[in-house]
Amino acid sequence: MPKRLSIISDYIMISFGTLLMSFGLFFFLEPNTIAPGGVTGFAILVQKLFGIPIDITNLIANIPLFIIGVIALGKRFGLKTAYGTFALSFFIRMISILLGENRLVVDDLLLASLYGGIMMGVGIGFVFRAGGTTGGTDLAGAILHEYIPYFSIAKWMMVFDLMIVASAGIIDKSLETSLYSIMALYILVKVADFIEEGLDYAKAFIIVSDQSEKIGKEILDALDRGVTVLKGKGMYTGVDKEVLLCMVDRSQVSKLKNIIYKIDPKAFVIVTTAHEVLGEGFKENES
């Protein structure tokens, strides 16, 4: 994809993501004081206490984090974060103006936390995939992820968000509010991780067999999939082994198992899930 189209695509994705987040906040979370962490969760609490609109608090609270983000993550990331933060506040304001008191509110806390968490998670996931954030704890998570990549951005968010979640119950004077906020936060993080890592996933096969050459040729002929031969050695036996690595679609998993065990019933096979595969036969790298 040309660079200009890629940039446009990123900003469209951020816009779509922040619009989904706005709907989740406006219809499900804010009316029930469910605060699933982040600056938006903090803004819900501020509105509950002082009546300050969510979009105003969201903008003001993100200024210091935005400055740090530009320094730590670069100007391009800063521009996307600035756009994401502004877009979220803009959509919240527009929805409030257009619907006002006429909005349909879900009073059931379970449904509100479930669907609010899903909409927020999908929205944030799309923003992450576009290389941006909406500020707040997801920006803080992105900064830490840059230096400590072992945890995803979404998991870093969970660490920061626990205090905000606990505060929701204190302010609303209800333990249930905190518990439902935790549930919404958990759903949000899991969905955001799922969207960020990719909707399409494949299966990776690691095959150890004395018939590796026959198995490899059959995979090439029957499945039209590439196979990589890795050199291995049995620690106990000291015998050299050829280890096959092969990526297949979900629909080809059973076929590949049949191929392997038809040729070598004693083959040792590891099957694992790959959330995203880039390259020939799968998704092309567009970066």
The pLDDT tens digits for 171-210 are 888 888 889 998 998 898 889 888 877 656 788 999 999 9
Tens digits of per-residue pLDDT, 30-79?
Answer: 888 898 877 888 899 998 888 898 889 888 888 877 777 677 766 655 78
More confident residue, 114 or 169: 114
What pLDDT does 76 receive?
Answer: 57
DSSP code for 227: -
What is the structure's pLDDT at 62? 83
Q: What domains lie within the chain, and their CATH numbers?
A: 3-197 (no CATH), 202-274 (3.30.70.120)
Tokens of 13: 């994705």
Indicate whether 17 pLDDT > 60.
Answer: yes
Per-residue pLDDT reduced to its tens digit, 143-163: 777 777 777 776 777 777 787
Sign of the alpha-carbon dihedral angle for 39, 41, 42, 48: positive
Q: Average pLDDT for residues 255-264, to the nearest whole number?
A: 93
Residue 119: which pLDDT band, with cuts at 50, 70 and 90?
very high
- pLDDT value at position 117? 93
What average pLDDT does the segment 258-266 reach?
Answer: 93
Residues 132, 81: contact at Cβ < 8 Å?
yes
pLDDT in tens, 164-177: 888 888 888 888 88
**What are residue 33's DSSP bridge partners?**
none
Instruction: Write down the pLDDT at residue 12.
Output: 94
Average pLDDT over residues 113-139: 85
Per-residue pLDDT, 274: 81
Q: Could you tell me if 77 and 67 are in contact, meaning their C-beta atoms sit under 8 angstroms apart?
A: no
Which pair of tokens denotes residue 176?
Answer: 């249930």
Q: How far apart (Å, rounded) are the C-alpha atoms in residues 107 and 15?
A: 28
Determine what percent of the chain falls in helix, strand and coil, rounding each to the nearest 5. Answer: 65, 10, 20
Least confident of 79-93, 128-142, 236-250: 128-142
